[in-house]
Structure 1
C-alpha cells in the first residue's frame, strides 16, 4: 500500500521537486498550492505519470480555516498522512533595509512562513497520533527552512527571522512527538534554482563561480532537496530527530 505525503507549496520550485521525488519513491501526494492551479495540475500529471495518486488542495497556510480544510481534505482523500512536508513559504514583496522595513511585510512573512507551519504541524501531528503507528509506516514531519535561518541578510530581516523560527519549531515538535514515534527533521537548502531566486541569478552566479561561496560549485536543484526528503520518508534516519540537514553545497562550512 502506498504511503501518503502532504506537501505544502507543492506546485513550484522546491515543493515541486519534493513532490515528484516522493512519487518516484512510491508515495501518493496531497499537492497543496496557494494560487497557481495550472502549475499544481502539471505537478499532478507528473505524479500520475509515475503511477501514484495526487490530490490537489488549494489552501493558504496562513489561514486557520484553510489549514483545517487542507488536513480534512487530505484525510478524506487518502485516510491517513504518513509524511508532512512543511515547504510553503513566501519571499519579501520588496527587499528593504531593516531600518526601513514595514510591519506589513513582517506580519505577512511570519504568518505564512512560521505561524502557518507551526499550526499545520499541530493539526497533522494530532491526526498522525490518532491514526496509529507501526513499524511499516512511522509518520514523519519535515520542515524546509533555509540557510537564512542563520545567515543574516539585512535587506530580508523578516524572512531570516521566520526561517530562524523554523529551527526552534523543529526542535519543539521533535521533542514533543518523539514519544509517539514521530521523527521531525529540518532541511536547510542553500542557493536553489527556483522562481524565487531567478531575480538574483547574476548575483549568485558571481558568488558561486567567482567568489568561492560554496565548496561545491554549482546551483542547487529542487531535486537535491527531494532526494533528502525521500531518504527521510524511507526511514533511513531512524535514530535521528530534530536533526538539521544542510543541502547547501557546503555553504555552512567555516573555512580559512
Structure 2
C-alpha cells in the first residue's frame, strides 16, 4: 500500500474520480461527506473502490468534528498521507449580484472556506508532527472560478478565490516540513452536479468555449492527484494547476 488518502466529497463526482485514481494506485481511501452512510451513492462508491475504502460521515461546517474524523481514519487506515480538500457547495441561487442574499453567501463560504480551512488545519498539524518519513501532500480542489468571474454566482467565485489563497498560505507554512500543497482548478466537468446544464454547455463547448473540445471528466482530476500524492511534483509545491482543457487561457 502507498499510504492513506482522505478525500472530502469523495462519494461522487470529481471526488469519486480522485478516489478511484488513488485506489488504483494502491492507496487506502477514506471518503468523508454529509451523505448518510447507508445512502445508495455511498454504497455504490465503496463498491467501486474496493475493500480498502472506508466512508465517514462528516459535516465541514462542524469544525469541532475535524479531530474526531481524523482519529477515526487513523484508527481504521493509518495516518493520512494524502489529503484532498474537494467538498464544496454551489450558490443556492444564480442571479443578480446586487440581489445576493446573506444566507447564501454565509452558506457557501461556511463550507468552501471556513469548513475547508479548519479541516485542512487539523490535517496539516498531524502531517507536520508525523515522524515516519513518508511524503505527505494536501490538494485543494477549487475551480476556474477562482480567477474567472461569474457575477450571477458571486459567493461561489469569492469562496474559490479565497480557497486559492488558502492553498498558497498552507504551501508556505508547510514547505519547510516537506509537505506539498497544491491547488487544482477544474473547468467544466461532467458530473451529476452539471447534468442540469449539460445541453447548454455542450453547445458552448462545441462552439469553442473549451479548446480541448470536450467535457472534462472526474478522472482528469484524479490523474493529476496521483503524481502529487506520490511526491513526483514535490518541488512544485504551491502550484495552481488548471484542469480545464484550456478554458482559462486568455484569448483574443
Q: Tell me which interval the TM-score lies in, with the shorter structure as reference length.
A: over 0.9
**1:119 alignment partner in structure 2:** 118
Tell me how far 1:133 sits from its aligned partner: 4.9
**2:33 alignment partner in structure 1:** 33
**1:88 alignment partner in structure 2:** 87
2:225 equivalent to 1:223: no
The gaps in structure 2 that reach 5 residues or longer are none
Q: CA RMSD in A?
A: 1.2
In 2, Cα distance between the equivalents of 1:70 and 1:111?
18
Could you tell me the TM-score, scaled by structure 2's length?
0.96
Q: Give secondary structure in 2 for the equivalent of 1:158.
A: helix
Matched positions, count: 250
* Per-residue Cα deviation, 1:152-186 (whole angstroms, up to 9, x for no partner): 11110000000000110000000000111101000
In 1, Cα distance between the equivalents of 2:239 and 2:147?
15
The gaps in structure 1 that reach 5 residues or longer are none
In 2, Cα distance between the equivalents of 1:40 and 1:65?
24
In 1, Cα distance between the equivalents of 2:89 and 2:176?
32
Q: Give secondary structure in 2 for the equivalent of 1:254.
A: coil
Could you tell me the TM-score, scaled by structure 1's length?
0.94
Q: Give secondary structure in 2 for the equivalent of 1:239.
A: helix
Kept in 2: contact 1:85–1:143 (CA 8 A): yes
**2:65 alignment partner in structure 1:** 66
Tell me how far 1:41 sits from its aligned partner: 2.0
**1:186 alignment partner in structure 2:** 183
In 1, Cα distance between the equivalents of 2:52 and 2:2?
9
In 2, Cα distance between the equivalents of 1:158 and 1:67?
24
